């Protein structure tokens, strides 16, 4: 594990950095650290937010001093490399790549001198790892996309991107769980609901899971969409 760094980012937050680059080792250390936070709750810690290379911990300075917090963090970091993490759960996400659902598929293909079919094949080939969640509830930031289909963000972001849209931005791919503005290249859409606000656990995905995209036809998309709506 790379040398641990702790930096105060405000008077109520500290950032614990586990690496300087996105890697499987860094991801596993972050997952293990978050499990330690869950296992040994410390009075005064409000919440924590994992990212690609760090975890930001928000705390109440009236209940927990920075010195005590840093001591707790160091204790939690002891031995995390040997932490027994649970097996990574895999979730299959059906995606329709037809033009009606993937308006930017041809653009991504042309940008990389590929056919749309080749983009679809390369996009559905990997098993993606969810490194972190953001920027809206349930949005997974995935690692493992083939750089042959990388494409820059749109020059002019859309005001409305439909829920379920699957996009590419740079070397990243992700899924919009809600309708929102966005500048990613939309290459397809899933009928699967990733955010269910009425459920006790409204977010389907979480960091540490694996995602496999599965291409479906328009008819299959509609059939799955109807089943999802009936639940």
pTM for this predicted structure:
0.82
Domains of the chain, start order: 5-82 (3.30.1360.40), 90-230 (2.40.100.10)
Residue (of 174, 182, 135, 179) closest to 158 by Cα position: 182
pLDDT band (50, 70, 90) for residue 1: low
And the tokens for 32?
Answer: 């293990």
Backbone angles phi and psi of 11, in degrees to 5: -80, 0
Residue (of 92, 148, 144) closest to 119 by Cα position: 148
Question: What's the pLDDT tens digit per position in 102-146?
Answer: 999 999 999 999 999 999 999 999 999 998 888 888 899 998 999
How high is the pLDDT of residue 155? 93
Q: Which residues contact 219 (CB under 8 A, 6 or more apart)?
A: none
How high is the pLDDT of residue 115? 98
How high is the pLDDT of residue 189? 98
Question: What's the pLDDT tens digit per position in 175-212?
Answer: 999 999 999 999 999 999 998 877 777 788 888 899 99
């Amino acid at each position: 594990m790379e040398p641990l760094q702790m930096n105060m980012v405000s008077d109520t937050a500290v950032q614990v950095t586990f690496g300087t680059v996105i890697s499987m080792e860094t991801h596993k250390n972050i997952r293990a650290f978050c499990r330690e936070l869950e296992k040994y709750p410390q009075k005064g810690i409000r919440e924590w937010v994992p990212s690609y290379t760090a975890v930001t911990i928000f705390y109440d300075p009236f209940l927990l001093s920075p010195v005590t917090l840093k001591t707790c963090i160091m204790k939690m970091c002891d031995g995390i490399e040997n932490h027994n993490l649970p097996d990574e759960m895999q979730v299959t996400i059906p995606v329709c790549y037809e033009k009606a659902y993937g308006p930017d598929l041809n653009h991504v293909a042309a940008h990389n001198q590929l056919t749309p079919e080749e983009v679809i094949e390369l996009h559905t080939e990997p098993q993606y790892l969810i490194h972190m969640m953001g920027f809206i509830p349930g949005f997974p930031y995935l690692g493992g996309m083939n750089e042959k289909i990388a494409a820059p963000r749109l020059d002019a972001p859309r005001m409305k991107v439909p829920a379920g849209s699957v996009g590419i931005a740079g070397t990243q791919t992700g899924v919009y769980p809600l309708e929102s503005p966005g500048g990613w290249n939309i290459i397809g859409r899933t009928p699967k609901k990733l955010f269910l606000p009425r459920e006790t656990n409204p977010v389907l995905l979480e960091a540490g899971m694996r995602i496999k995209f599965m291409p479906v036809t328009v008819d299959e998309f509609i059939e799955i969409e109807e089943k999802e709506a009936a639940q």
